Chains A and B, each alone.
With several copies, the nearest count.
Chain A
Amino acid sequence: MINQKMPLVEFLALRQEVLNQWITGKEVNLEEAVAYQKTIKADKRFSAKLKQAALDKVTLVQPRAGVALPNDLKKLLKTLQDEGGADLLPTTIDSYTRHNRYIEAQTGIDESIRIGKSLLNGFPAVNHGVSVCRDVVEYLDVPVQVRHGTPDARLLAEITLAGGFTSFEGGGISYNIPYGKNNSLEKTITDWQYVDRLVGYYEERGITINREPFGPLTGTLVPPCISHSVAILESLLAAQQGCKCITVGYGQCGNQIQDIAAIKTLEKLSKMYLNRFGYKDVRITTVFHQWMGGFPQDEAKAYAVIAWGAATAVLSGATKVIVKSPHEAFGVPTAEANSNGLKATKQLTAMLKDQVAIESPMIVEEMNIIEAETNCIIEAVLKLGNNDFGLSALRGFEAGLIDVPFAPAQCNANKALPARDNNGAVRFLDFGNLPFDETLKAFHRQKLKERAETERRDVSFQMVIDDIYAVSKGQLVGRPR
């Protein structure tokens, strides 16, 4: 980890090592890649399309999707574009690639070819290499992003950016904590500094690549202040390496007031901290993820959850919304199910775009809470790390000052526990080591006390379990039966 923009020579030296990780690394020629990216027109670039959406105050829709084989991927993405009306497209990477297990990914490809069906849960872009990526991206009319969950995504970034993708999701924290078990945070942050430096390199050469920290983390009862803190740290880390176009994200919690307040504060706080450290020319946009937790199995009910997410996304003013499908509870959706999620979402993004979002003192109050919480965390963390962003993150997680609920990573404290309050907003039942001041703690305790009284039971882990199941069982607050 370093605390400055990685010097060019150092970066270039490191590249050789990275490109040697798998055979396809050899295909990447940075000069040629820059030239290639320059041929991609504005309407197929993430940065331009997001900028326009922010100006027009509309919410763009984007699905998740990826399959093992290039031709299937092209067909799939084209359907999502033409039938589903996706404004932005993804390419979701398979789980072997995410763990740099390229040999197993190759088995997955071979097997998929053999039985004529994708056995991988995404597209193994590294194994396929640069020219296959270009072939995919060129086939489509809208910008395409790499979405994954890869702790060490250096080679993946090299190949996909040379391959014509114009946005890259992830970060050293957000693709470690929810996506791995034994990865050292120091290493993942360092590896992502490389990715950001690569994006910074393109930027120096006049090519803006959009970067998107993964907002929802574990997708499971993550209070806004936690995901905001990660988004802010990753934005600072990215800006430091020269990224200029960042989309910060948040996964819907379900209470509309909290969700609207979350998107508003996410944008505000990200900008504030970037400004504070002098990154004034970074453009911030926001992404709202439709409900990321367990879904109802019934498709009609799933549609309702999807639509509620779409509505909240627009009314919160998010720049884009990531869409779920009615198959969510079961498995990777068919192209048709995925399109249906998009169409349902688009109906509402369009129907609601002209509505003035409701202004309310209740939203302002919730914003104040989220800001206070996030500031407590970020200030404490930055202090601990002497304003060195990477070090701050590292020490912050070590000390449990940031703590992501239900994360599989061993470097996460896993002491803080969330639960819903009586109105469905996500609060803390256990603070772990979160550096909240007494006023904030009293607020959370009071909120959970209200719920406990309504439900005539004690505040306990059973509430958390009930909350985890709630949405899939048609509730928001997991009330006792």
Chain B
Amino acid sequence: MEKSTVVIGVIGADVHAVGNRIIEFALDHAGFNVVNLGVMVSQKEFVDAAIETNAKAIFVSSLYGQGELDCRGFGDYCKEAGLNNVLLYVGGNLVIGKSDFEPVKEKYITMGFDRVYPPGSDINQGIEDLKHDLEIMD
């Protein structure tokens, strides 16, 4: 079976690189084709890369607290670009400050993300969910 492609990166002016490296490593080990855009990625770069590589999913990370500003309209932007079937996941420290996760999750769902992960999530959870959503069997 052909490997599914996942585009990953850290959005906005965010330079937190460590989690991004580990996500690449983990997706790769799990059998995905990973396109890692690294840190400081704009919405446009995510979408262009997804189109170009015919990606099945985009994993957006935001650690530095300004994700709320950076991710605004991400879902709509993807749709406009014709990315209707691409899964959008987002994770990291998605808002400024320690807060209940439920309202944060809702906020990002509203922005068009399919799945939202709380601070310090195990990336393997994300990979499991991805396999489930893509109906990939182990």
- A interface list, Cβ under 8 A from B: 94-96, 98-99, 101, 104, 107-108, 111, 118-121, 149, 178-182, 218, 220, 294, 297, 327, 329-334, 337, 406-408, 461, 465, 468, 472
Contact = CB atoms under 8 A, between A and B. Distances in A.
Going nearest first, the 10 A-B pairs with the smallest beta carbon separation are A330-B98, A408-B17, A121-B65, A331-B97, A408-B39, A95-B13, A327-B98, A99-B13, A181-B40, A408-B15
Contacts of B18: 218, 220, 294, 406, 468
Interface in B52-109: 64-66, 68-69, 93, 95-99
Contact of B119 (A120, A331, A408): A331
B15 A333 contact: no
Which of B14, B18, B69 gathers most chain A CB within 10 Å?
A: B18
A95 B14 contact: yes
A329 B120 contact: yes
Contacts of A121: 64-66, 96
B66 A95 contact: yes
Given A96-B13, A406-B18, A329 B119 contact: yes
A293 B130 CA distance: 28
Contacts of A461: 25
B25 A465 contact: yes
A180 B15 contact: yes
Interface string B13-33: 111111001100100000000
Nearest to B12: A95
A344 B12 CA distance: 34
B83 to A, nearest CB: 24
B39 to A, nearest CB: 4
Q: Does more than half of chain B's interface fall in helix, strand or loop, or is it mixed?
A: loop
A111 B38 contact: no
Contacts of A108: 66, 69
B120 A472 contact: yes
B21 A406 contact: yes
Q: Does more than half of chain A's interface fall in helix, strand or loop, or is it mixed?
A: loop
A108 B65 CA distance: 12
Given A218-B18, A408-B17, A333 B69 contact: no
A348 to B, nearest CB: 20
A294 B69 CA distance: 24
Contact of A111 (B12, B39, B40, B69): B69
Nearest to A120: B66
Given A178-B15, A220-B18, 9 more contacts: A94-B66, A119-B68, A121-B64, A218-B17, A330-B98, A331-B95, A331-B96, A333-B98, A408-B16
Contact of B38 (A118, A178, A408): A408
B97 A107 contact: no
A406 B65 CA distance: 20
A107 B38 CA distance: 25
A14 B85 CA distance: 51
Contacts of A332: 65, 96-97
A334 B66 CA distance: 16
A294 B63 CA distance: 12
A118 B69 contact: no
Contacts of B119: 297, 329-331
A192 B8 CA distance: 32
A330 B94 CA distance: 9
B44 to A, nearest CB: 15
B133 to A, nearest CB: 25
Contacts of B15: 149, 178-181, 408
Contacts of A149: 15
